[in-house]
Amino acid sequence: MTGPRRRPRGLPEHLDREDTLVMGVLNVTPDSFSDGGLYLEPERAIAHGRELLAAGADLLDIGGESTRPGAPRVDAEEERGRVLPVVRALAAEGAVISVDTMRTEIAEASVAAGALIVNDVSAGRADTDMGSLAAHLRTRLGTPPVFVAMHWRGHSDVMNELTDYADVALDSAAELAERLDALRAAGVDEDFLVADPGLGFSKTGEQNWELLADWASITSHRLPVLIGASRKRFLGALGVDRDHATAAVSAYAAEHGAWAVRVHEVAPTLAAVRVGDRLRRSRR
């Protein structure tokens, strides 16, 4: 049996490579758990996006709605006002942009503004039209957007109550498989799909470790994998710097063949994924 597909279609040629990519997080929100409010103003967000790219980020993931536990939802117009100026400015400068949204109207407007990736943490559950929209959208490259589908059980205000699993790795993989099948049925092209196991979403700290340890379940969808562990509470529970712990998880993910890692601090993760990539190549 061949291994899981490493890369999605729909991105520029310079990102079609074996190395694990680094996706820089750009939260244009007042209440994200680690950087809320720092980049709420468009000018500051755009400047920080440039800093992430200068540090070595391959992609930028721009979000206007916090998904931290307990966060309230913002309305669509507020999210649009936060996200679109930043997407438009950085895409115009040549950045490869992912929009972190659960709303079809924000995804559609962001792709029109230059985004190449739709990162929907609900995998189309929060907005049931998302799959059909993603299937019909075309980016500036003339292809459908890459669609990142994450394992998700419910919105931020209830997700900490939804942590009951018989086996967290097997159950979350099975639930995500159902969402991936629904997206395919809506017309989303298999070659543009990416799977995200949803670390920190409806999972306890211990469950996050159990999930990470079962890489076979994470890759059971035979799709490229995005890992988003950056600065999450289960890393802080180790009693070490969260960015350092994030880099360690990123090295592990790269060694196991992740397509990309989503992080707040690019430089240490860039070094970490290069180590992981090198170990993977030597082992192979």
Crossing angle for the helix pair 76-92 and 104-112, to the nearest 10 degrees? 20
Per the structure block, which two tokens stand in for 123?
Answer: 């995998």
Residue in the structure block whose two tokens are 């996200």: 83
Residues annotated catalytic, as ranges: 232, 262
Contact assessment for residue 66 and residue 33, using Cβ atoms and an 8 Å cutoff? yes
149 DSSP β-pair partners: 120, 195
Q: What is the pLDDT of residues 64-76, one digit of tens each?
A: 998 777 677 789 9
Contact assessment for residue 115 and residue 92, using Cβ atoms and an 8 Å cutoff? no
Q: Side by side, which strands form the sheet with 226-227?
A: 193-196, 146-150, 117-120, 97-100, 59-63, 21-27, 260-263, 226-227
pLDDT of residue 201: 94
pLDDT of residue 1: 36
pLDDT < 50 positions in the chain: 1, 32-33, 36
